[in-house]
C-alpha cells in the first residue's frame, strides 16, 4: 500500500541519483511542484473566511503532497513509522543532504525538517524495519565522516537508540582515521554509546566534549542566524526619500544612548531631508516598506506574474544574486555553488525559467543605486559619512 506516494513522489528518488541528468530532471519537477504549491497558497489565502475555503485547503494540501520534504507534513502525523508509506521519503530527504549537499541546500534546506525527521525516527526506532535501520546506521557513519552541519546532534541521539552493533565496531575504525575531524566526531559518538555523558546528546554536550577532550570550543552557528535580534542590527535600509523621491538611507544609530527605545536616522543623499525616530517598535506600513519610518524600499521591483521582489540593501541584493547563480544545469557537468547563509528564495524565485528575469531585475536595481548620488560607496551602498 503506497497511498499514492509513488505516483506523487516517485520522481524524487532521482534527487539522489548519481546520474546528473536524472537529478537535473528531478529538480525541474520539484520547480513545477513548487509553483503549483505557491499558486494554491495564493488561492487559499484569498479564500480565507469564504465558503470555498475548505476546497482551497484540500487543494493546498494536495499541492504540498507533491513536494519534498513538505509532503511529509501534508497528512496527519503517522501513528506508526514502521508501516507508513512516507517513511522511505524521510530517509530519502536525509540521504539527499548527505549525498548532494549543495543541491539539497539550494532546493530544500530546512533545518527544522531535518531535525524533526531525525527526532521522529529516533522516537520510533523500535518499529522500523531492518532495511531502514541499516540505512540509518549508514547515515550516522556518513555524518561522522564529513564536517559538522546544523542539526547533526540529532544523529547522535539516533545513534544512541540504534542497535549497538555493528555501529560501535565501525565507529572504532573511524576513530583511527587520519582525518582529525573524523576522529573527533567518532570519539564523541563512542562516548555517547558508552553512556559517558549525563543527559541526551545536544549541541552543548558536543561542545563540552570538544572542550574536555580537544581543548577548544568550536563555534557552531545555529540555524544560519547571526544571533542578533533584528531590532539590534545596524543594517542599512535603502529607501525612497519622502521629499524628493531620491535615494535615502535608514539605519539604527549605534552611538545614540537608548533612551526609551532605539534611535533611528533617515537621511537623503539627494536633498537635505533628514529625520530621527526613537522607538522600540517596528511598524509594518505595507509590503516593500522599511519598518521604522514606513518609507518605500528603494530596491524593489514587480516581476512577471505580479511577484514583488524587494530587499533592504545592496549586500542582501548580492546574496540573492549569488544564490541564484549557485544553481547550475547539471547536464553541463558543473557543480552547484555555495548558497549564502541567511538568504532564502521564495518558491516563485526557484524556477529555472525565472532565473534570467530575476538576474536582470537584480542588475537594474544595482545600477539604480550606482547611478545615484556620489555620496554612496558603490561597494557597500553605505554613505561615506552619516550626518551627525
Q: Are 339 and 223 in contact (CB under 8 A)?
A: no
CA 115 to each of CA 25, 154, 207, 210: distance values in angstroms, whole numbers, following the listed order:
27, 6, 18, 22
Is the CB of 175 or the CB of 244 nearer to Zn ion? 244
**Least separation in angstroms between CB 267 and Zn ion:** 9
**Least separation in angstroms between CB 240 and Zn ion:** 9
296 sits near Zn ion (criterion: CB under 5 A):
no
C-alpha cell at 108: 530544500
Is the CB of 239 or the CB of 358 nearer to Zn ion? 239
Is the CB of 361 or the CB of 369 nearer to Zn ion? 369
CA 63 to each of CA 93, 115, 120, 234, 352: distance values in angstroms, whole numbers, following the listed order:
18, 23, 23, 39, 19
**Least separation in angstroms between CB 383 and Zn ion:** 13
**Least separation in angstroms between CB 386 and Zn ion:** 15
226-285 positions binding Zn ion, by CB under 5 A:
241, 243-244, 246, 268, 270-271, 273
Residue 74 phi, psi (nearest 5):
-75, -25
Residue 262 phi, psi (nearest 5):
-105, 150
Is the CB of 97 or the CB of 290 nearer to Zn ion? 290
With CB under 5 A as the rule, give the number of residues binding Zn ion. Answer: 8
**Least separation in angstroms between CB 318 and Zn ion:** 25
Q: In sequence order, what are the beta bridge partners of 239?
A: 248, 297
Is the CB of 53 or the CB of 271 nearer to Zn ion? 271
**Least separation in angstroms between CB 262 and Zn ion:** 23
Tell me which residue of 150, 107, 34 sits closest to 323, measured CA to CA.
Answer: 107
**Least separation in angstroms between CB 246 and Zn ion:** 4
Site track for Zn ion across 133-152, x = CB under 5 A = --------------------
Is the CB of 99 or the CB of 375 nearer to Zn ion? 375
Tell me which residue of 240, 239, 242, 267 sits closest to 253, measured CA to CA.
Answer: 267
For the sheet with 237-240, list strands across it: 237-240, 247-252, 262-268, 274-279
CA dist 326 and 339 (Å) reads 6
**What 8-state DSSP symbol labels residue 296?**
B
Is the CB of 95 or the CB of 269 nearer to Zn ion? 269
Chain contacts with Zn ion (rule: CB under 5 A): 241, 243-244, 246, 268, 270-271, 273
Amino acid at each position: 500500500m503506497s497511498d499514492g506516494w509513488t505516483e506523487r513522489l516517485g520522481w524524487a528518488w532521482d534527487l539522489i541519483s548519481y546520474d546528473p541528468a536524472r537529478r537535473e530532471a528531478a529538480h525541474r519537477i520539484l520547480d513545477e511542484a513548487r509553483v503549483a504549491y505557491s499558486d494554491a497558497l495564493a488561492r487559499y489565502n484569498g479564500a480565507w473566511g469564504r465558503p470555498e475555503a475548505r476546497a482551497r485547503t484540500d487543494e493546498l494540501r494536495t499541492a504540498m503532497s507533491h513536494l519534498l520534504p513538505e509532503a511529509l507534513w501534508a497528512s496527519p502525523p503517522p501513528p506508526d513509522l514502521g508501516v507508513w508509506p512516507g517513511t522511505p521519503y524521510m530517509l530519502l530527504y536525509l540521504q539527499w543532504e548527505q549525498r548532494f549537499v549543495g543541491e539539497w541546500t539550494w532546493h530544500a534546506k530546512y533545518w527544522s525538517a531535518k531535525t524533526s525527521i531525525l527526532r521522529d525516527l529516533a522516537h520510533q526506532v523500535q518499529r522500523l524495519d531492518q532495511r531502514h535501520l541499516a540505512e540509518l546506521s549508514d547515515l550516522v557513519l556518513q555524518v561522522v565522516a564529513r564536517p559538522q552541519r546544523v542539526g547533526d546532534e540529532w544523529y547522535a541521539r539516533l545513534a544512541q537508540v540504534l542497535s549497538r552493533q555493528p555501529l560501535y565496531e565501525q565507529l572504532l575504525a573511524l576513530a583511527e582515521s587520519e582525518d582529525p575531524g573524523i576522529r573527533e566526531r567518532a570519539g564523541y559518538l563512542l562516548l555517547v554509546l558508552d553512556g559517558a555523558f549525563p543527559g541526551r546528546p545536544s549541541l552543548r554536550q558536543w561542545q563540552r566534549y570538544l572542550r574536555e577532550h580537544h581543548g577548544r570550543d568550536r563555534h557552531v552557528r545555529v540555524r544560519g542566524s547571526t544571533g542578533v535580534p533584528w531590532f539590534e542590527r545596524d543594517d542599512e535600509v535603502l529607501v525612497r526619500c519622502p521629499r524628493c523621491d531620491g535615494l535615502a538611507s535608514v539605519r539604527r544609530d549605534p552611538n545614540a544612548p537608548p533612551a526609551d527605545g532605539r534611535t533611528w536616522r533617515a537621511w537623503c543623499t539627494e536633498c537635505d531631508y533628514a529625520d530621527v525616530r526613537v522607538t522600540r517598535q517596528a511598524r509594518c506600513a505595507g509590503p516593500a516598506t522599511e519598518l521604522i519610518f514606513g518609507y518605500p524600499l528603494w530596491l524593489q521591483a514587480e516581476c512577471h506574474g505580479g511577484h514583488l521582489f524587494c530587499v533592504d540593501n545592496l549586500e542582501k541584493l548580492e546574496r540573492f544574486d549569488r544564490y541564484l547563480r549557485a544553481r547550475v544545469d547539471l547536464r553541463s557537468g558543473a557543480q552547484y555553488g555555495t548558497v549564502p547563509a541567511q538568504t532564502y528564495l521564495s518558491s516563485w524565485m526557484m524556477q529555472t525559467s525565472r532565473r534570467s528575469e530575476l538576474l536582470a531585475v537584480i542588475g537594474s536595481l544595482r545600477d539604480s543605486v550606482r547611478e545615484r548620488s556620489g555620496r554612496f560607496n558603490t561597494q557597500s551602498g553605505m554613505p561615506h559619512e552619516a550626518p551627525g
